Structure 1
Amino acid sequence: MTLRADLAIIADHVAPGSRVLDIGCGDGALMAALRDRSGVDARGLEIDAGNVAAAMARGLSVIQGDADVDLAAYPDASFDYAILSQTLQTARAPDGVLDHLLRIGAQAFVSFPNFAHWRVRGSLLWGGRMPVTPLLPERWYDTPNIHHVTIDDFREHLRSRSVVVEGAWFLSGGKRTTSAAANLLAEHAVFLLRR
């Protein structure tokens, strides 16, 4: 099974045998890879019932829940890693979700689409419309994305909260790209964080 590019980066950087909570785990592809390749004890939280069923069919421990509400029930430091992949921008209170990630996990992975990518900017500038791209395939009225975050916005938020960046990876066209001008050139970002 081939993982989506951001998930592959995360999988490559999770220590074998770790305890992981994957928030917004989708169908469990990352959890299954971590379990099968690295002996990780992976748990998942997913809002979509169909995805929960698909993950459970893989033999994964996943519960249906909402990151905006249900993360408060998890004890402090209960996981080695808390993972939030392509979910931050869909949260009603992304700053609160981020605080919970860093409380629940010793480290946290966060990945998100970069809404400052040049194609997004160009679509707004030249077409005057919200972009529809392979990474952002929904139209403005049907998107789950309610907080359009950029790499620079996220970095500033981390600085303001004294969050330590342990690692950062940037993707364009599903391939790693340089951090130089990432806010303009990267379609997607992956951060490894800790308090």
Structure 2
Amino acid sequence: MTALRPDLAIIAAKVPPGSRVLDIGCGDGALMAALRDRSGIDARGLEIDAANVAAAVARGLSVVQGDADADLGDYPDAAFDYAILSQTLQTARRPHIVLDHLVRIGTRAFVSFPNFAHWQVRASLLWGGRMPVTRLLPERWYDTPNIHHVTIDDFRAMVAERGITVEDAWFLSGDKRTRSAAANLFAEHAVFLLRR
């Protein structure tokens, strides 16, 4: 089994055995396969890219092609114990609506995203005057799927405005966890556990 991305490893470690999971924007199904292969977790996926759907299905996973912006309304309330949205929020056309669906479909929801307020991003803009290209944000501004540049503080404000509770949060700098103090400045990536 290949190692999971650090944000996915955090999520995989926190989902209890026997849970029902919907992974929205599941990519090639790496997280779903890890969840399935341990403790009988029933993992389902929704993915927009046909090649990723094919790769996930080839792993024996239950994945359908769909769009988080258009198709989440079709899922019933509390259909899953956990709804997961990893590195997808910033690509959604209406992230606030996707987030509302997430906490409606899952009893709890994990959301992970790159932090666009990280000090290296800020420095790139300040000193270079250009949108940064980093390890976590490897595409140029005109080639990126990211259409919303979310920061940790922006996300916290959005969930508070929507009456969503943050149960826990983890912050990553590089591939290692970092402290929550000043996370908006020092964390490259964030993982939040939410509930309505």
What TM-score range do you get, normalising by the shorter chain? over 0.9
Aligned to 2:49: 48
In structure 2, what is the equivalent of residue 77 of structure 1? 78
SS at match of 1:7: helix
Aligned to 1:169: 170
What SS does the corresponding residue of 1:3 show, helix, strand or coil?
A: coil
Counterpart CA distance in 1 for 2:103 and 2:173 is 27
Structure 2 gap segments, 5+ residues each: none
Q: TM-score, normalised by structure 1?
A: 0.99
Shift of 1:38: 2.3
Query: 2:188 maps to what in 1?
Result: 187
Q: For each residue in 1:9-62, what CA deviation from the matched residue of structure 2 results, as whole angstroms up to 9, or x when unmatched?
A: 000000101000000000000000000012100000000000000000100000
Q: How far apart are 1:70 and its partner, in Å? A: 0.4
Q: Deviations over 1:145-175 (max 9, x none)?
A: 0000000000011111121111100000111
TM-score, with length taken from structure 2: 0.99
* 2:37 alignment partner in structure 1: 36
SS of residue in 1 equivalent to 2:191: strand
User: What is aligned with 2:101?
Assistant: 100
- The percent of aligned pairs where both chains have the same amino acid is 82
2:10 is the alignment partner of 1:9: yes
AA at the equivalent of 1:106: T
How much does 1:111 deviate?
0.2
- Secondary structure of residue in 1 paired with 2:110: strand
Task: Render the CA deviation track for 1:84-121: whole Å, top value 9, x for unaligned.
Answer: 00000000000000000000000000000000000000
SS at match of 2:64: strand
- RMSD across aligned positions (CA): 0.5
Distance 2:31 2:39 in 1: 11
Which residue does 1:146 correspond to in 2? 147
CA distance in 1, matches of 2:75, 2:182: 37
For residue 20 of structure 1, what is the aligned residue in structure 2?
A: 21
Structure-2 separation of matches of 1:38 and 1:126: 49
Structure 2 residue identity aligned to 1:56: V
What amino acid does structure 2 have at the position aligned with 1:114? N
How many residue pairs were aligned? Answer: 195
Question: Partners in 1 of 2:68 and 2:147 — Cα distance?
Answer: 14
* 1:156 partner amino acid: A
Q: Distance in 1 between matches of 2:114 and 2:39?
A: 27
Segments ≥4 residues shifted beyond 3 Å: none
Match of 2:131 in 1: 130
